């Protein structure tokens, strides 16, 4: 991907005039490398008014009139504007705009302009606004039929780009809009190369890998068949668009029953001040009746923190699934040991990768294995938290491994003082900074209607536990709860990346037993840590 400045420029203030046509209504969203604005074409400083239907510029500036050329209404029009400041991508994006490509899954810009014109530091892309929403604001999952439909449309769109000589630099949530009817459209893509002739089919490979990750992220955990397929896409098993399309259609023809019901939701966001999102999260069905959820908050900066958190989630899920695959009746001790082993493997994998890279990357990690919707096993290192909400009351299940948390335990600080203490970012234990980290393991029995919340400190550091409790109680839909919790973190200041996963335990479990239920009878008291698996870490780390 092209290099460029990472510093976010000052935002355009409301009322500012941009280019020849636009007036800023306001900044509506921050993302990695982007700022999104609503703008309109109400410009009393101009003597004429542009018709957006035919392009005529010869109309009197009267929003109540009609175009003299095509008779279209000249009413005030609103637009969504995205500004980016990676100068290395400006030329490629302008070349993409000049191609004026058309596809049902592509929302092509109606205007692209540099800002300022004489010495550009930003490039602005404009599309008509028709109440679309940003995929950044859409909590996972989506109904599986929508995910599959999106995959099919995206395959066609990527094929069209390859045919027209356009190679994407990356494909992220920030590149998609959602129309009110549910259609998902590519918008403001990051373009790496534009040429007059078609690309080689393999040049879509990186975009397909990133599309696979996006699709897997939005696939319900109750759809392990589709989760597995998109995981294979993400791993690069289908290096060309035709190969991906054929495999997609083969899976879509499988008559296996699909479900649109899901009890769980997840969302991550860069926040309002950070340039890079180093958080990650994941969920996976390890086997029938056993699900795993996790949140990680990386540290170390670009090419470090986000690598560590992603590696933690991937390794944890892979190892846990491999260990459970051949067990007929995993009991509580076995399940707990598997979670412990997978967690430790994630720790040591990150440490090994850091040594190879020559950096100090690390991450926090909180994970919860849910068995039959009746039992939960928690594992955590660092200050990403796990909560249980029962009968409207929120209880913190995990324990923070931070300096201020220790001082609270020692009676030196109150919890409120700890939240705002200047040393609140000092962690005593992290994943990947030392081999064989000490892991806290906690068992909890579950009851119908329970909800579990896993989150990074970007949530609980900005939103009091009482407010987290209130927001969870206000929203029965966990996707809505996730969105509102992220928004509350923004209102609280949004100083850090924020990630939240909300797990719902159905009021009537439909799962068949896969464990030796009698072995769960000896579970420890709710919320009690039962094991630490290694000597304490010897270093203190600062969160990045």
Mean pLDDT of 6-34: 95
Among 134, 163, 182, residue at a domain's last position: 134
- Write the pLDDT tens digit of every residue in 254-263: 877 666 567 8
Residue 7 lies in a domain: no
φ, ψ of residue 7 to 5 degrees: the values are -70, 130
- CA 447-293-235 angle, to 5 degrees, is 150
Q: In total, how many domains does the chain have?
A: 3
Per-residue model confidence (pLDDT) at position 6: 64
pTM, two decimal places: 0.91
pLDDT at position 326: 81
Domain that holds residue 408: 264-542
**Pair (299, 174) in one structural domain:** no
Question: Where is pLDDT greater, at 311 or 423?
Answer: 311
Assess whether 159 and 33 both reside in one domain. no
Give me the residue label for tokens 């992603």.
Answer: 310
Closest CA to 463 of 385, 370, 525: 385
pLDDT of residue 528: 36
Q: What's the CA gap between 428 and 542, in Å, rounded?
A: 9
Q: According to the model, what pLDDT value does residue 260 have?
A: 58
Is the bond into 116 cis (omega within 30 degrees of 0)?
Answer: yes
> Confidence class of residue 532 from pLDDT cuts 50, 70 and 90?
very low
Looking at the fold, whether 281 and 168 belong to one and the same domain comes out as no
Q: Are residues 150 and 206 in the same domain?
A: yes
The domain spanning residue 499 has which CATH number?
Answer: 3.60.40.10
Average pLDDT over all residues of the chain: 90
Examine the pLDDT at 539 and tell me if it is beyond 50. no
Q: What is the pLDDT of residue 509?
A: 52
Q: Is the pLDDT of residue 150 over 70?
A: yes
- The pLDDT score that the predictor gives to residue 259 is 64
Q: Flag whether 5 is in a domain.
A: no
Q: Is residue 318 part of a domain?
A: yes
Give the integer Cα–Cα distance in Å for 355 and 344: 17
What is the per-residue pLDDT across 383-433, written as a single tens digit (0 to 9) for each? 999 999 999 999 999 999 999 999 989 999 888 888 888 888 899 999 999
CATH code for position 89: 3.30.200.20
Q: Are residues 446 and 472 in the same domain?
A: yes
How many other C-beta atoms lie within 10 A of the C-beta of residue 204?
27
Q: Where is the domain boundary, 208, 226, 252?
A: 252
pLDDT tens per residue across span 487-522: 999 999 999 999 999 999 998 754 444 444 434 433
24-57 burial by CB neighbour count: b if 16+ within 10 A, else e? bbebebbbbbbbbbbbbbbbeeeeebbbbeeebe
Span of 37-41, 144-148, 286-290, 413-417 with lowest mean pLDDT: 413-417
Mutual orientation of helices 224-234 and 205-217 as an angle, nearest 10°? Answer: 150
Residue at which a domain ends, from 252, 282, 297: 252
pLDDT in tens, 236-284: 999 999 999 999 999 998 877 666 567 899 999 999 999 999 999 999 9
Torsion 305-307-310-315 (CA) sign: negative
Whether residue 146 is found in the same domain as residue 117: no
Of the listed ranges 211-215, 333-337, 523-527, 539-543, the one predicted with least confidence: 539-543
User: Based on the domain organization, do 379 and 271 belong to the same domain?
Assistant: yes
Residue 6 forms part of a structural domain: no
Residues 116-127 have pLDDT tens digits of 999 999 999 999
Check whether 525 has a pLDDT greater than 70.
no
């Amino acid at each position: 991907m092209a290099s460029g400045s990472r510093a976010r420029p000052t935002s355009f203030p409301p009322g500012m005039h941009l280019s020849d046509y636009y007036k800023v209504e306001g900044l509506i969203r921050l993302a990695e490398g982007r700022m999104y604005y609503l703008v309109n074409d109400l410009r009393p400083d101009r003597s004429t008014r542009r018709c957006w239907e035919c392009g005529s510029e010869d109309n009197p500036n009267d929003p109540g009139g009609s175009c003299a050329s095509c008779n279209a209404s000249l009413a005030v029009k609103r637009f969504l504007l995205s500004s980016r400041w990676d100068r290395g991508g400006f030329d490629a994006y302008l070349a993409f705009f000049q191609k004026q490509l058309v596809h049902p899954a592509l929302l092509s810009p109606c205007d692209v302009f540099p800002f300022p014109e004489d010495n550009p530091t930003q490039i602005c892309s404009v599309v008509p606004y028709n109440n679309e929403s940003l995929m950044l604001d859409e909590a996972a999952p989506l109904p599986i039929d929508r995910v599959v439909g999106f995959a099919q449309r995206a395959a066609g769109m990527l094929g069209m780009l390859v045919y027209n000589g356009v190679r994407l630099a990356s494909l992220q949530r920030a590149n998609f809009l959602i129309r009110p009817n549910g259609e998902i459209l590519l918008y403001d893509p990051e373009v790496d190369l534009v040429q007059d002739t078609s690309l080689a089919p393999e040049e879509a490979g990186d975009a397909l890998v990133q599309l696979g990750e996006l699709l897997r992220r939005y696939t319900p955990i109750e759809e392990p068949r589709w989760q597995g397929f998109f995981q294979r896409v993400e791993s690069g098993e289908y290096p060309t668009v035709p190969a991906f399309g054929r495999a997609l259609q083969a899976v879509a023809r499988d008559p296996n029953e699909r479900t649109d019901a899901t009890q769980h939701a997840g969302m991550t966001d860069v926040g309002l001040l950070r340039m890079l999102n180093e958080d990650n999260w994941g969920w996976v069905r390890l086997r029938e009746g056993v699900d795993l959820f996790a949140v990680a908050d990386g540290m170390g900066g670009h090419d470090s923190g986000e690598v560590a958190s992603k590696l933690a989630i991937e390794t944890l899920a892979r190892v846990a699934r491999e260990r459970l695959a051949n067990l007929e009746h995993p009991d509580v001790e076995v399940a707990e040991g598997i979670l412990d082993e997978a967690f430790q493997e994630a720790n040591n994998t990150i440490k090994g990768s850091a040594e190879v890279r020559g950096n100090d990357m690390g991450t926090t990690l909180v994970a919860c294995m849910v068995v039959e919707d009746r039992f939960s096993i928690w594992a955590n290192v660092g200050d990403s938290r796990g909560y249980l909400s029962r009968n409207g009351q929120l209880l913190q299940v995990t324990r923070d491994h931070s300096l201020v948390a220790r001082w609270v335990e020692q009676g030196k600080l109150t919890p409120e003082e700890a939240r705002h203490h200047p040393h609140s970012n000092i962690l005593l234990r992290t994943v990947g900074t030392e081999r064989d980290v000490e892991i806290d393991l906690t068992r909890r029995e579950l009851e119908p209607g329970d909800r579990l919340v896993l989150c990074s400190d970007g949530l609980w550091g900005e939103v009091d536990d009482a407010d987290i409790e209130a927001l969870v109680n206000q929203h029965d839909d966990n996707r809505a709860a996730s969105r509102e919790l992220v928004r509350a973190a923004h209102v609280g200041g949004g100083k850090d990346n924020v990630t939240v996963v909300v797990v719902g335990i159905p009021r009537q479990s439909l799962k068949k037993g896969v464990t030796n239920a009698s072995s769960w009878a000896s579970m420890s008291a709710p919320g009690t840590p039962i094991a630490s698996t290694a000597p304490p870490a010897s270093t203190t780390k600062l969160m990045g």
